[in-house]
Amino acid sequence: MEIVQRKKVLTRMTITWLLYGATFVVSILSLASTAFPALVLRMMGGFENNAGINPLEPGFYFAPLIILNLSLLFLGILHHKKKLPNLLNRSIKSIFNFELSATAAFFIILILIGFYLVFTVEELFNGEYFPDWAFRGEEMLENYDPMVIGEPGIGKHITIFFNWAGLQIFGNLKVVPLISSVFLVVLT
Protein backbone atom coordinates (compact mmCIF):
# COMPACT_ATOMS: atom_id res chain seq x y z
CA MET A 1 0.00 0.00 0.00
CA GLU A 2 2.80 2.39 0.89
CA ILE A 3 4.57 1.75 -2.44
CA VAL A 4 1.42 2.69 -4.37
CA GLN A 5 1.12 5.96 -2.43
CA ARG A 6 4.77 6.78 -3.08
CA LYS A 7 4.27 6.17 -6.80
CA LYS A 8 1.23 8.46 -6.81
CA VAL A 9 3.17 11.19 -5.01
CA LEU A 10 6.11 10.75 -7.41
CA THR A 11 3.77 10.96 -10.41
CA ARG A 12 2.14 14.12 -9.06
CA MET A 13 5.54 15.69 -8.39
CA THR A 14 6.70 14.81 -11.90
CA ILE A 15 3.60 16.35 -13.46
CA THR A 16 3.98 19.44 -11.28
CA TRP A 17 7.61 19.91 -12.33
CA LEU A 18 6.78 19.36 -16.01
CA LEU A 19 4.05 22.00 -15.86
CA TYR A 20 6.36 24.33 -13.97
CA GLY A 21 9.11 23.82 -16.57
CA ALA A 22 6.79 24.50 -19.49
CA THR A 23 5.37 27.59 -17.80
CA PHE A 24 8.87 28.83 -16.96
CA VAL A 25 10.04 28.44 -20.58
CA VAL A 26 7.01 30.31 -21.93
CA SER A 27 7.53 33.06 -19.34
CA ILE A 28 11.19 33.45 -20.27
CA LEU A 29 10.33 33.62 -23.98
CA SER A 30 7.68 36.26 -23.26
CA LEU A 31 10.10 38.30 -21.18
CA ALA A 32 12.81 37.93 -23.82
CA SER A 33 10.49 39.29 -26.49
CA THR A 34 9.62 42.21 -24.21
CA ALA A 35 13.24 42.99 -23.42
CA PHE A 36 14.63 42.32 -26.93
CA PRO A 37 11.86 42.68 -29.53
CA ALA A 38 14.19 42.45 -32.52
CA LEU A 39 15.53 39.09 -31.32
CA VAL A 40 12.21 37.31 -31.73
CA LEU A 41 11.53 38.98 -35.08
CA ARG A 42 14.93 37.94 -36.36
CA MET A 43 14.51 34.35 -35.11
CA MET A 44 11.14 34.05 -36.88
CA GLY A 45 12.54 35.39 -40.15
CA GLY A 46 11.00 38.84 -39.86
CA PHE A 47 14.01 40.79 -41.14
CA GLU A 48 15.48 40.17 -44.53
CA ASN A 49 19.29 40.12 -44.35
CA ASN A 50 18.89 41.25 -40.73
CA ALA A 51 18.04 44.77 -41.96
CA GLY A 52 21.05 46.10 -40.04
CA ILE A 53 19.24 45.66 -36.73
CA ASN A 54 21.03 44.37 -33.65
CA PRO A 55 18.87 41.53 -32.23
CA LEU A 56 20.13 42.21 -28.70
CA GLU A 57 19.26 45.90 -28.76
CA PRO A 58 17.16 46.56 -25.65
CA GLY A 59 13.56 47.49 -26.23
CA PHE A 60 11.51 50.26 -24.64
CA TYR A 61 10.43 48.09 -21.70
CA PHE A 62 13.89 46.65 -20.94
CA ALA A 63 14.74 48.94 -18.02
CA PRO A 64 11.29 48.79 -16.32
CA LEU A 65 11.26 45.01 -16.73
CA ILE A 66 14.68 44.57 -15.13
CA ILE A 67 13.90 47.03 -12.30
CA LEU A 68 10.56 45.38 -11.51
CA ASN A 69 11.95 41.84 -11.54
CA LEU A 70 14.98 42.74 -9.43
CA SER A 71 12.82 44.55 -6.89
CA LEU A 72 10.44 41.57 -6.66
CA LEU A 73 13.42 39.23 -6.25
CA PHE A 74 14.85 41.49 -3.55
CA LEU A 75 11.49 41.60 -1.72
CA GLY A 76 11.20 37.82 -1.95
CA ILE A 77 14.66 37.31 -0.47
CA LEU A 78 13.95 39.78 2.34
CA HIS A 79 10.62 38.08 3.05
CA HIS A 80 12.26 34.65 3.13
CA LYS A 81 14.91 35.88 5.58
CA LYS A 82 12.22 37.63 7.69
CA LYS A 83 13.91 41.04 7.30
CA LEU A 84 10.78 42.91 6.19
CA PRO A 85 8.56 44.91 8.55
CA ASN A 86 5.62 43.01 10.08
CA LEU A 87 3.04 44.82 7.94
CA LEU A 88 4.73 43.77 4.69
CA ASN A 89 5.28 40.21 5.94
CA ARG A 90 1.59 39.86 6.83
CA SER A 91 0.57 41.33 3.48
CA ILE A 92 2.77 38.93 1.55
CA LYS A 93 1.57 36.01 3.66
CA SER A 94 -2.08 36.91 3.00
CA ILE A 95 -1.36 37.07 -0.75
CA PHE A 96 0.20 33.60 -0.62
CA ASN A 97 -2.75 32.20 1.35
CA PHE A 98 -5.47 33.76 -0.82
CA GLU A 99 -7.64 31.22 -2.64
CA LEU A 100 -10.35 31.70 -5.20
CA SER A 101 -13.00 29.13 -6.02
CA ALA A 102 -13.02 27.58 -9.48
CA THR A 103 -16.47 29.00 -10.19
CA ALA A 104 -15.44 32.55 -9.29
CA ALA A 105 -12.25 32.24 -11.36
CA PHE A 106 -14.27 30.95 -14.33
CA PHE A 107 -16.66 33.90 -14.20
CA ILE A 108 -13.83 36.40 -13.80
CA ILE A 109 -12.13 34.95 -16.88
CA LEU A 110 -15.40 35.13 -18.83
CA ILE A 111 -15.84 38.77 -17.84
CA LEU A 112 -12.25 39.61 -18.84
CA ILE A 113 -12.62 37.87 -22.20
CA GLY A 114 -15.93 39.69 -22.71
CA PHE A 115 -14.28 43.08 -22.06
CA TYR A 116 -11.42 42.16 -24.38
CA LEU A 117 -13.79 41.16 -27.17
CA VAL A 118 -15.94 44.28 -26.75
CA PHE A 119 -12.93 46.56 -27.10
CA THR A 120 -11.17 44.66 -29.93
CA VAL A 121 -13.97 43.42 -32.19
CA GLU A 122 -14.14 46.89 -33.78
CA GLU A 123 -10.65 46.34 -35.21
CA LEU A 124 -11.93 43.43 -37.30
CA PHE A 125 -14.00 45.69 -39.50
CA ASN A 126 -12.13 48.99 -39.64
CA GLY A 127 -10.10 47.96 -42.73
CA GLU A 128 -6.80 49.26 -41.35
CA TYR A 129 -3.68 47.12 -41.68
CA PHE A 130 -0.08 47.65 -40.73
CA PRO A 131 1.91 49.62 -43.34
CA ASP A 132 4.08 46.66 -44.35
CA TRP A 133 1.03 44.65 -45.43
CA ALA A 134 0.74 46.34 -48.82
CA PHE A 135 4.22 45.44 -50.05
CA ARG A 136 4.84 42.12 -48.25
CA GLY A 137 1.67 40.44 -47.05
CA GLU A 138 -0.55 40.67 -50.11
CA GLU A 139 2.12 39.25 -52.40
CA MET A 140 2.80 36.33 -50.04
CA LEU A 141 -0.88 35.43 -49.82
CA GLU A 142 -1.47 35.68 -53.57
CA ASN A 143 1.35 33.23 -54.29
CA TYR A 144 0.70 30.92 -51.34
CA ASP A 145 0.37 27.17 -51.81
CA PRO A 146 -0.40 25.34 -48.52
CA MET A 147 1.29 22.17 -49.75
CA VAL A 148 4.72 23.73 -50.30
CA ILE A 149 7.06 24.96 -47.57
CA GLY A 150 9.29 27.38 -49.36
CA GLU A 151 12.08 29.77 -48.64
CA PRO A 152 10.74 31.76 -45.66
CA GLY A 153 10.96 28.75 -43.32
CA ILE A 154 8.41 27.01 -41.11
CA GLY A 155 7.67 30.02 -38.87
CA LYS A 156 6.74 32.22 -41.81
CA HIS A 157 4.90 29.32 -43.45
CA ILE A 158 2.67 28.91 -40.38
CA THR A 159 1.97 32.65 -40.27
CA ILE A 160 1.11 32.77 -43.95
CA PHE A 161 -1.04 29.63 -43.64
CA PHE A 162 -3.14 31.13 -40.83
CA ASN A 163 -3.52 34.40 -42.74
CA TRP A 164 -4.54 32.47 -45.85
CA ALA A 165 -6.99 30.32 -43.84
CA GLY A 166 -8.48 33.44 -42.22
CA LEU A 167 -9.08 34.94 -45.64
CA GLN A 168 -10.54 31.72 -47.05
CA ILE A 169 -12.82 30.90 -44.10
CA PHE A 170 -13.79 34.30 -42.69
CA GLY A 171 -12.87 36.70 -45.48
CA ASN A 172 -10.86 38.73 -42.97
CA LEU A 173 -7.21 38.52 -41.93
CA LYS A 174 -7.83 39.68 -38.39
CA VAL A 175 -10.23 36.96 -37.21
CA VAL A 176 -7.63 34.22 -36.67
CA PRO A 177 -5.30 36.44 -34.56
CA LEU A 178 -8.32 37.51 -32.47
CA ILE A 179 -9.34 33.89 -31.89
CA SER A 180 -5.77 32.89 -31.04
CA SER A 181 -5.41 35.75 -28.55
CA VAL A 182 -8.66 34.70 -26.83
CA PHE A 183 -7.39 31.11 -26.62
CA LEU A 184 -4.10 32.40 -25.22
CA VAL A 185 -6.01 34.13 -22.42
CA VAL A 186 -8.05 30.97 -21.79
CA LEU A 187 -4.96 28.77 -21.64
CA THR A 188 -3.07 31.02 -19.26
pLDDT 10s digits, 48-78: 555 667 778 888 889 999 999 999 999 989 9
> Does residue 155 carry a pLDDT above 80?
no
- Tens of pLDDT along 90-135? 888 888 888 888 899 889 989 988 998 888 888 777 777 766 665 5
Distance, CA of 93 to CA of 76 (rounded, Å): 11
Spatial CB neighbours of 94, under 8 Å, sequence gap ≥ 6: none
Render pLDDT for 157-182 as a digit per residue (tens, 0 to 9).
777 778 778 888 887 777 888 888 88
CB 79 within 8 A of CB 88: yes
Res 111: pLDDT: 93
What pLDDT was estimated at residue 21?
92
* Mean pLDDT for all residues in the chain: 80
Q: Where are the alpha helices (DSSP H) in the chain?
A: 2-35, 37-43, 62-80, 86-97, 102-120, 137-142, 154-169, 175-187
* pLDDT tens sequence across 6-25: 888 888 899 999 999 999 99
Cβ 40 vs Cβ 56: under 8 Å: no
pLDDT at 7: 84
